[in-house]
Chains A and B, each alone.
Chain A
Amino acid sequence: GIQVEQSPPDLILQEGANSTLRCNFSDSVNNLQWFHQNPWGQLINLFYIPSGTKQNGRLSATTVATERYSLLYISSSQTTDSGVYFCAAVSGGSYIPTFGRGTSLIVHP
C-alpha cells in the first residue's frame, strides 16, 4: 500500500514564528487531508487538498501530486497551534486512507 511519511517528527517554536510541515507519499493520490489533533485529542480538519493550494487564515497548504508531496504552512504561530499535525492519503487504487505518524508541534509563548 501507499507509504506516508511526515517531517519533521517534532518541532518547537516561539510564538510568532513561521513553519513548514511536509508530507511525502509513495504513490499517486486522489485524496489528501491535513488534520490538527489538539492537546485534548480532538481531530480537526484543516484542508482537503488532493492537488493545488488552499489558504485558511494563517494556515495554507500545497499539494504537488506529480512530485508526491504536500506542505502545510503555519505563519505567525500561536500557542493554540500546539498539537500533532497529521496528513492522510488515499492512493488511486485504494479505498483505505493511510495516515502519517504526525508532526508534534509545541509553540511557546
Chain B
Amino acid sequence: NAGVTQTPKFQVLKTGQSMTLQCAQDMNHEYMSWYRQDPGMGLRLIHYSVGAGITDQGEVPNGYNVSRSTTEDFPLRLLSAAPSQTSVYFCASSYRIRYEQYFGPGTRLTVT
C-alpha cells in the first residue's frame, strides 16, 4: 500500500492563479480531509468528505473547493490564489469519520 499520496510536493503560484492539489489513498478509506498548517497555528481543517459524492466545510474553507467523485481521490482546488494561502497543505484519510487518521507527506505552497 502506498497509503496517502499528495502531488505536487512544492508549488509556487502568482496571485490570482488557480491550481489543484492532488490527494489519493489506496486503503479504501471512506473519510478524507484537507488541512493547512501555518507556523504556530497547528493544523486547521479546510474541507472533508465522508464518502464519494459527499463533502463538507471545515474550519477554514474560504478560497478552496473540493469534490469527491471516487473513494480514492480528493483534490483541493484553489480558485484564485492569494498570499494568505501560502502554507503547507496536508491530506488525511481514515476508515470512517472519527477513526484513526493517516496523513500524506504534504504540499508546500507559496503564493507571491
Residues of A at the B interface (CB closer than 8 Å) are 30-31, 33, 35, 41-43, 45, 48, 86, 88, 90, 95-97, 99-102
Contact = CB atoms under 8 A, between A and B. Distances in A.
B53 interface: no
A22 B42 CA distance: 15
5 interchain residue pairs of minimum CB distance = A99-B42, A48-B100, A43-B103, A99-B43, A31-B98
Kindly state the interface size class of chain B when it binds its partner.
20 to 34
B98 A95 contact: yes
A95 B98 CA distance: 7
A43 B33 CA distance: 14
Interface in B79-112: 88, 90, 97-103, 105-106, 108
Contacts of A30: 98
A31 B33 CA distance: 16
